């Protein structure tokens, strides 16, 4: 039987992988993907709580929808900044992006 904690642990795992990836990865694109992993892990937790703890109003589902919208906005802005920085630095190594 699959319970709530299985899903919560999976969401936590994805969040930790995203957190470590965003801190340790050198490639900017990989850092952005890691941040999206963190958002997806949070979304899994929201939907899990919406299913198991709130069977009437499903607030977790709706908040997860907002997170997807915010994540798309964040990705668009971050990619644009990356594009501008790439034009100046000619590299996708994040250590060269310390000066904006």
Partner 1 sequence: MISNPVLFYIASFILIVFAFLTMFLKNIIYSLLSSVMVFFSAGLLFYFLGSEYNAIIQAAIYGFAVPIIIGLSIMFGGKCSKCEFTLKYATILASLIFCLGFVYVIMMSVSMLPETFNIVGLVKSNSYEVISSFAKGIFINYVWAFELVSLLLTVVIAGLTMYRKKGV
By CB under 8 A, name the binding residues for partner 1: 1-2, 6-7, 10, 13-14, 17, 20-21, 24-25, 27, 29-30, 32-34, 36-37, 40, 43-44, 47-48, 50-51, 56-59, 61-62, 64-66, 68-73, 75-77, 79-80, 82-84, 86, 90-92
Q: Shortest approach of partner 1 to residue 98 CB, angstroms?
A: 18
User: Cα–Cα distance between 85 and 92 in angstroms, integer?
Assistant: 9
Q: Are 67 and 39 in contact (CB under 8 A)?
A: yes
Q: What angle is formed at CA 83 by the lines to CA 77 and CA 85, rounded to 5 degrees?
A: 105
């Amino acid at each position: 039987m699959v319970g709530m904690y299985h899903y919560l642990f999976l969401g936590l795992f994805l969040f930790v992988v995203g957190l470590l990836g965003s801190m340790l990865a050198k490639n900017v694109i990989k850092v952005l993907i890691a941040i999206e992993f963190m958002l997806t892990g949070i979304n899994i937790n929201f939907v899990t709580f919406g299913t198991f703890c709130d069977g009437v109003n499903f607030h977790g589902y709706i908040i997860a929808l907002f997170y997807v919208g915010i994540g798309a906005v964040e990705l668009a802005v971050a990619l644009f900044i990356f594009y501008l920085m790439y034009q100046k630095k000619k590299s996708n190594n994040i250590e060269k992006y310390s000066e904006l």
